[in-house]
Amino acid sequence: MVRISIAKMGSDESIPSKDSTSLQDTCPTATPFRQAVFINGFPCKNPANIIASDFKTSRLNHAGNTDNFRRSATSMVTAAEFPGLNTLGLSIARTDIAVDGLVFPHAHPRASEMFYVSRGVVIAGFIDTRNQLFQKTLREGDVVVFPRGLLHFSLNAGFDLATIFSVLNSQNPGTVSSVDAMFEPAGSDALLESLLRTRLLNLSATKADPMSA
């Protein structure tokens, strides 16, 4: 009966809206470990061995290498690298975008993303299932949200390095790249990437801004 009523509301109780809720205070990832049994997540450390360092990471301290065609670098930190995130339903990321650089359209099938600009000027946007573009120019301290599963992108609109920190509401968000999905693996065809890059820059320069206040 419950399942029928939920289905009538347009949803399905078998599809979770977020990662499973933790059944204990903490559950840092047990590393290193040999995965003999495959579970939805990672095994927990012995509670007697949990220490404060399990809940701290320095993986996002330094800028990524932007010396590439896209002039950008993204470092994602999940429970696999940051034990304290295990069972919390969170991941974090740092994106560095050099002048004239960009992050090509991609989506996270299991997470929404809070996108915080720490440095620089960034144009960021996403496209919904009606093919409508929502786009905004962001400056230091600004935050935008990318809904789960929707294609989103960002590009440097300033004259200096841009740095963005993100929080995603899944410990394993996943990433689906439109470039890698449509064409050969990224970097194998610079012409295709160049065409897409030019298209995004032109779109950002000419499209009306429906996200403006």
Half-sphere exposure of 128 (CA within 13 A, CB side): 9
Task: Tell whether 81 is in a known binding site.
Answer: no
Distance (Å, rounded) from C-alpha 126 to C-alpha 152? 4
**Furthest C-alpha separation in the chain:** 59
Q: How far apart are the first and last CA of the chain?
A: 43
Q: How many CB atoms lie within 10 A of CB 136?
A: 16
Task: Tell whether 106 is in a known binding site.
Answer: yes
Do 41 and 85 form a contact (C-beta atoms < 8 A)?
Answer: no
Q: How many CB atoms lie within 10 A of CB 106?
A: 17
DSSP secondary structure code for residue 15 in this structure: S
Question: Is residue 154 left, alpha or beta, with left meaning phi > 0 and alpha meaning psi from -120 to 50?
Answer: beta
Binding residues for oxalate: 108, 113
Binding residues: 106, 108, 113, 152
Binding residues for Mn(2+): 106, 108, 113, 152
